[in-house]
Amino acid sequence: APAYAAEEETEDTARDFIVIGAGFAGVTAARELRARGKKVTILEARSRVGGRTWTDTFGGQLVEVGGTWVEPTQPNISRELKRYNLALEEDEPLDRMFLPTPNGPKAFTPEAGGAAMGALFDKFFEGSRQYFERPFQPLYRADLLQKLDRMSLRDRLNELKLSPADEMLINGQTAIYSGGASTDGALTMLAQWWSLAGWTNQGWSDTQRYRMKTGTVGMLTAMINESKPTVVFNAPVASVAESGGRVHVTTRAGKTYSAKGVVVAVPVNVWHTIKFTPGLPAAHTAAASQGIAVKNSVKIWIHARNGQGRVYGQAAEGGSPIPMFIPYKKTAEGQLYVGFSVDPKLDATNVAQVKDAVRKLGVDLDIIGVRAQNWGAEEFSRGGWAFRKPGQLTSLYPDVLNQLTSRITFASGDIAEGWTGFLDGAIESGMRAAQLANGEM
């Protein structure tokens, strides 16, 4: 046969790109490559799209089992909401807040509780207008960040020498965002979020106020319907190898797909489970072994009978295995609440344990049922929301944003330049990866 016969178009030779992972980063990258006329196959390990987002139902309501809130000023979210004409739904106002005090949990009006925490956050993030002068370019003032980036949230709390009452008001939040203790998370991670939100408590509170009416799956479905990539479900990838001007991606089941380029859009905490040839460079290896998403992350939906209404609860650091819970919608039988836990000892499927944990926040719920999702225990996430550890910003960025080779590119909400740990960051990263993969950057 003539030599060119080997070049005959097969599904493999015709394919331009493979995207590994159908979360927000992967679906965005696929859509952007399709918009450039490329043939794209998404290989997804699970049997659904969405990754660390998952729109489901509980208590007769649409609920998000993972990422939920979006903010209309987040640039990528705002663009996508307009593009697909998707509406937002606003959380209803709180009736009251239970906050920790040295004498136990105490009820506050939402105005008084918000003002007290806002004043403390202002103090906590003092200086961030300078060191995050351009919050979407986190290393713009790298000169100011060298020492600051090594500080944990605990270091900053200690530096402020707050009264015990004041410290209790905010250390529950610094601990939970860090994924355990305030020693785990970097000051510069929370300070970047605060800066992105406009350096105000109002801006920060607004990041937990709006949801997509269709659920997050509505945006993903719109992206897929517009761009129509081939999506292969139940296809966990085991290896990615570049050779002979192509990239070969092999699933755990042993099927190999090849393409001109690959976008690896799996969580950073999962990178070490895939064999890369060539191997990962130093920054990627460090990120993969340290992890960026918090390891213990459980989201718990609680359905309770009427009685407590729209109450918010927050514990001080170490005060409860569920240090934060937030009211959601009314149901025919009562009220839904959503709680967060980073305590590996909590069995969040156990109603008695959940009730006890919430009681420590000052609220006695008459629980009908619970629905818990442990993202740290999921093999295709190995963690929840991203929250950088001390030193990671200055030691890993921008190397970790680089491609492995011109044909192998990474995308993830865990390594965004702006809203790392948010949907907006995942979309940002997917957009950037498509440009890199297509040789435009």
- Sites of contact with ligand FAD (CB under 6 A): 20-26, 43-46, 51-53, 66-70, 236-237, 265-267, 270, 274, 297, 299, 375, 380-381, 384-386, 412-413, 421-423, 426
Nearest approach, Cβ of 156 to ligand FAD (angstroms)? 23
The span from the CA of 150 to the CA of 154, in Å, is 11
Where is 50: in which H helix or E strand? none
- Which CB sits closer to ligand FAD, 65 or 365? 65
Nearest approach, Cβ of 246 to ligand FAD (angstroms)? 19
Nearest approach, Cβ of 397 to ligand FAD (angstroms)? 16
Radius of gyration of the chain from its Cα atoms, rounded to whole angstroms: 22
- Which CB sits closer to ligand FAD, 108 or 276? 276
CA distances from 185 to 269, 391, 393 (A): 16, 10, 11
Contact 231, 221 (CB under 8 A): no
- Which CB sits closer to ligand FAD, 108 or 271? 271
Which amino acid, residue 99?
L
- Which CB sits closer to ligand FAD, 334 or 384? 384
Helix, strand, coil percent values for the chain (each to nearest 5): 35, 25, 40
- Which CB sits closer to ligand FAD, 23 or 105? 23
Hey, what are 337's tokens? 């609440």
Nearest approach, Cβ of 341 to ligand FAD (angstroms)? 10
Nearest approach, Cβ of 300 to ligand FAD (angstroms)? 10
Contact 194, 170 (CB under 8 A): no
Q: How, if at all, do strands 408-410 and 275-277 pair?
A: unpaired
Nearest approach, Cβ of 250 to ligand FAD (angstroms)? 11
Nearest approach, Cβ of 322 to ligand FAD (angstroms)? 13
Angle at 267 between CA 193 and CA 345, to 5 degrees: 80
Q: How many Å separate Cα 261 from the centre of its chain?
A: 26
- Which CB sits closer to ligand FAD, 265 or 316? 265
Nearest approach, Cβ of 37 to ligand FAD (angstroms)? 23
**Backbone angles phi and psi of 351, in degrees to 5:** -55, -40
Nearest approach, Cβ of 381 to ligand FAD (angstroms)? 5
Length of the chain as a residue count = 441
**DSSP per residue over 301-328, as a string?**
EEEEETTS-SEEEE--TTS-SS-EEEEE
Q: Is 345 exposed, middle or buried (0-12, 13-18, 19+ CB in 10 A)?
A: exposed
- Which CB sits closer to ligand FAD, 28 or 182? 28
**Quick one: DSSP state of residue 45?**
S
Nearest approach, Cβ of 30 to ligand FAD (angstroms)? 11
- Which CB sits closer to ligand FAD, 334 or 413? 413
- Which CB sits closer to ligand FAD, 121 or 422? 422
- Nearest-CA neighbor of 419 among 429, 409, 430? 429
Contact 17, 265 (CB under 8 A): no
- Which CB sits closer to ligand FAD, 296 or 320? 296
The span from the CA of 83 to the CA of 202, in Å, is 27
